[in-house]
Amino acid sequence: MTVILDGKSLADKICEQLKSETQKLSKKPKLAVIYAGDNPASQIYVKNKQKKADYIGFDSVVISLPNDVTEENLLEHIYILNEDDDVNGILVQLPLPEGINTQKIIEAIEPVKDCDGFTAYNFGRLALGYKPYAYPCTPKGIVKLLEHYNIKLQSSHTVVIGRSNIVGKPVSLLLQQKNSTVTMVNSYTKNLKDITKTADILISAAGLPNFITKEFIKNNAVIVDVGINRTEYGLTGDVDFNDCFESASFITPVPGGIGPMTIAMLMENTLELYKIQRLFKI
């Protein structure tokens, strides 16, 4: 019988724990989100993040900048937040407007305030097998969800579709640290179906709606759908959920799977960074 990996339920439990812990603090953690441009999807994501931060009891601020913002102006805002002792987590909502060097902007964030875990310092420590100040939110949420359902990671074969710095690369590194054998594939991979059908765990972050059908998976595979694609028929993932459902042992829904876990991990990272910064001061 196929089990749905209920990310929303687990994320809600995690956020309740964070809320309970935050209520005991003498000072609230503070999350700052920088949003530039007019991307409708980004506006929704930022609103959801701020709403969750407020619910947990964090202070939160959203810095909204116009689509024609300059790199210099963006950097100025980051430098100010870096120097603000009241700010514990800094997040730059992606994608940024055209003409902005995304990595340059991310690298301007102090690693100890990098609640997305995207700076070279934090990513580099992850790649070397050391603990970063913060793990990237979506990969961290994927691993936590799999472990919550007692899915065996050690000695499993995981195939990751997509090689982005946000999901594909970091989740591959995290799973290797859990002793999973990881194969990364992309749009240039030959015989893609032959490879994905060997996966005990298939993670798709391709950004292609309903791309994965039952022909891509072996029986009883674990399917993790990271895709969030807005189509004329509504929100859908990379995985054709109905087509793959009976063939999978576990599967994430879209929405309600990895999305809520990503936001929960952002909140968890913010609280963890708050604690680290407090230790620095001591």
Catalytic residues: 49, 93, 116
| Paired sense of beta strands 229-231 and 234-236, if any | antiparallel
Residue 190: burial class (beta carbons within 10 Å; 0-12, 13-18, 19+): exposed
For residues 282 and 13, give the distance between their C-alpha atoms in angstroms, rounded to a whole number. 31
Rounded distance between C-alpha atoms, residue 25 and residue 47, angstroms: 25
Q: Quick count: other Cβ atoms within 10 Å of Cβ 71? A: 14
